[in-house]
Amino acid sequence: MSRPLKPESVVKLIFIAPTGSVLGVAKMLTPLSWGLQPFRFVTLREDDQSRLQAAIQSSLTQSARAETQSRHDHDLIEKYRPW
């Protein structure tokens, strides 16, 4: 968007997740910054909700793996640090 939408505006929203497209009706919330505006789904079909939940779960799993790897790498660095 070129600028934030008016809070409470109702919009049709579509985005592509790794699990497929998600289409729903959303209410725009108060912008956090010029380029960042949260929204709340007001209508989301069951199949779109399933794809969204799967995408969120996949993202959480991936983040947890990255965090575990980062901790492991840090531990190895500390283990072999010369001082």
A 10 A CB-CB count for 29 gives 15
Distance CA 6, CA 74 (A): 45
Angle at 82 (CA atoms; ends 76, 83), nearest 5 degrees: 110
**What stretches in the chain show pLDDT beneath 50?**
none
Distance CA 35, CA 2 (A): 8
Q: So what's the pLDDT on residue 3?
A: 87
CB 8 within 8 A of CB 27: yes
What is the average pLDDT value for the chain, to the nearest integer?
91
Q: So what's the pLDDT on residue 28?
A: 97
> Position of tokens 């794809």?
51
Q: So what's the pLDDT on residue 53?
A: 95
Q: So what's the pLDDT on residue 34?
A: 87
Q: So what's the pLDDT on residue 81?
A: 82
